[in-house]
Structure 1
């Protein structure tokens, strides 16, 4: 058998095989496509939920880190001044010398935190300082910016609130 005739036979077999495959392949039905789209949508919903949970956890960690930073600066304030700033003086007492309440005679001219304003929490809300000058707590009202709440709307405290 010559090489030319062998190649012709292979060509005929291959083209026959291709046409058989094409005849049997009708594609996906509408039902199969809808099922596939439904499964993809369900997976997307599950994944999006996990991503949003991770985002929230990251925001809470960020709040805790910022609060620890404020706490360190408030301790420095107390070391230099002999007391914590009060609730009325707010965390702004870390930037500029308070003009109300007890006077801090050793307040440094540059303040305790660089910048013109106290950073906001991850939800763009102000941190709340609760202090009588002796004890303190810092609060973020969380993503809903409303006092109280449960779950993802719960307030975040530097100190665990005392049970009443």
Structure 2
């Protein structure tokens, strides 16, 4: 009997687990499913990035409007969007400036670049915009500039 038990336990040990073929089939199936998910999700990410830019631009535009209501002017191009976080130093009414600023911190665009600001702007009193995925003026698709004039 002891010999039979050893034989059966060795046989079970050989039969336990998966064969290489079974593992390869599982890996191929996982790869196919991953491909389907990536193909369906990537287009959504582009739309989400544009949505984030539009939301950030609306927030910055609102903060700039509040700045204007407080100071009677928009920040200059040299002061930039930083004037929303830190008071302009040479401004006489800086004492009225809220300690926390008009916005706590400046957001970066979804591609990690700072938003651009011009005052006066080419499209209005001021322009706030993202340079897109390439971080350069102009471009098409993901690389296209998105500005407050697009809102």
| Secondary structure of residue in 2 paired with 1:124 | coil
Other-structure match for 1:27: none
Quick check: which one's helix share is greater? 2
Give the gaps of 5 or more residues in structure 1: 1-32
Other-structure match for 2:11: none
Shift of 1:47: 4.2
Other-structure match for 1:108: 97
Shift of 1:109: 3.5
- 1:96/1:40 Cα in 2 relative to 1: closer, same or farther (>3 Å)? closer
1:128 aligns with 2:116: yes
Other-structure match for 2:7: none
| TM-score (norm. length: structure 1) | 0.63
Other-structure match for 2:139: 149
Structure number with greater CO (CA < 8 Å, separation at least 6) is 2
CA displacement 1:64-102 (0-9 Å, x = unmatched): 0011011111000001101111111110000111236xx
| TM-score (norm. length: structure 2) | 0.68
Other-structure match for 1:139: 129
Distance 1:45 1:142 in 2: 26
Q: Which has the larger radius of gyration?
A: 1
Shift of 1:59: 0.9
Please, what is the CA RMSD of the aligned residues? 2.6
CA displacement 1:6-63 (0-9 Å, x = unmatched): xxxxxxxxxxxxxxxxxxxxxxxxxxx99xx6x9977754542331110110011011
Other-structure match for 2:64: 74
Give the gaps of 5 or more residues in structure 2: 1-23
Count matched residues. 122
